[in-house]
Amino acid sequence: MRSPTVTLLLGQDGWVEHVDNGIRYTFDVTRCMFSPGNITEKLRVASLPCAGEVVADLYAGIGYFTLPYLVHAGAAFVHACEWNPHAVEALRRNLELNGVQDRCQIHPGDNRQLELRDVADRVNLGLLPSSEEGWPIACQLLRKGTGGILHIHQNVESFPAKALHLHSGHLEEQQLQQCPEQAFSNRQEDQRNCRNPKDADRTDSGRETPAAMARAEWQRWAETTGARIRILLQQLHGKPWRTNILHIEPVKSYAPHVDHVVLDLECRPLS
Ligand SMILES: C[S@@+](CC[C@H](N)C(=O)[O-])C[C@H]1O[C@@H](n2cnc3c(N)ncnc32)[C@H](O)[C@@H]1O
């Protein structure tokens, strides 16, 4: 729910208005959270080429990403899911404030119960520390004939000690048992589209810098996520899919050695 612990000292209610990037957001500060730290991601979403697309925003909140998709990115329609009734009320007001209420359907309640399927060109999964519980519904929402793009948020840890136990390969082993050729070709494709951890910055003594280790950890997380989403899509549709890491966006440092990143993952059915 991300409910704040705020006490109102003065005034009748906690409703405020905040404007960023030309979008008006109203919300009750005593009931809903607002993440100023996500501004770079909101600006990036606003610049995505979404003209004519149907987008699903699984963790819509008060519309932090739903509104940039509608107002700036040119999305034709957004399905916005949210289970906090106070956030749903703010989202409803925000759609009207910005004149885009006709291009958005709010789905109040737990997004994992959503009946909707086969509608989205793009799915936004903006939940921390992980949106993993939303991956199956995101796969269900993607258009089964053409697929689309997932924007997957995650807090990725890169504790130095963790680097010693890297990448157990468990997932790939699992996929190798199910579909050996595809596990191999998908991994090669993922590697072609990503920065190679071996190219990362090194200190004079040849050791990887903390920043380089963090990037390598994001890359490993993205590759594992791509493989897991591919398996989910294959299980859902009973035919092979490919996933392709388009981009990994660092949003903010969440805590020491913990970074909030967004993976842009292209998912397409193989003909
Ligand atoms: C971090 S906030 C999202 C805000 C926005 N995406 C951002 O990053 O600024 C997460 C939102 O997802 C909602 N949420 C979490 N789990 C959910 C679920 N299973 N179904 C629907 N909404 C959910 C919470 O109520 C909260 O408003």
Ligand 1 pocket mutation, candidates 83, 130, 135, criterion most atoms within 8 A of CB: 83
Residue 30 placed within a domain = no
Residue 29 placed within a domain = no
Residue 31 placed within a domain = no
Residue 154 placed within a domain = yes
CA–CA dist 212, 126 (Å, integer): 25
Residue 2 placed within a domain = no
| Residue 66 beta carbon below 6 angstroms from any ligand 1 atom | no
The single-letter DSSP state of residue 130 is B
Buried b (16+ CB within 10 A) or exposed e, 91-113: bbbbbebbebeebbebbbeebee
pLDDT tens per residue, range 99-109: 999 999 999 99
CATH number of the domain encompassing residue 194: 3.40.50.150
Higher pLDDT, 190 or 46: 46
- Number of domains composing the chain: 1
The single-letter DSSP state of residue 76 is S
Helix, strand, coil distribution of the chain in percent, nearest 5 = 40, 25, 35
Give the pLDDT of residue 191. 39
Residue nearest to atom 12 of ligand 1 (CA): 59
Segments forming the whole domain that contains residue 212: 36-269
Q: What percent of the chain has pLDDT over 90?
A: 73
220 has a pLDDT exceeding 70:
yes
pLDDT tier at 209 (50, 70, 90 boundaries)?
confident
Token representation of residue 190: 């993922």
| Residue 127 beta carbon below 6 angstroms from any ligand 1 atom | yes
List of residues 6+ apart from 90 with CB closer than 8 A: 25, 26, 27, 28, 31, 32, 62, 63
CA 81 – ligand 1 centroid, Å: 8
CA–CA dist 100, 229 (Å, integer): 32
Residue 15 placed within a domain = no
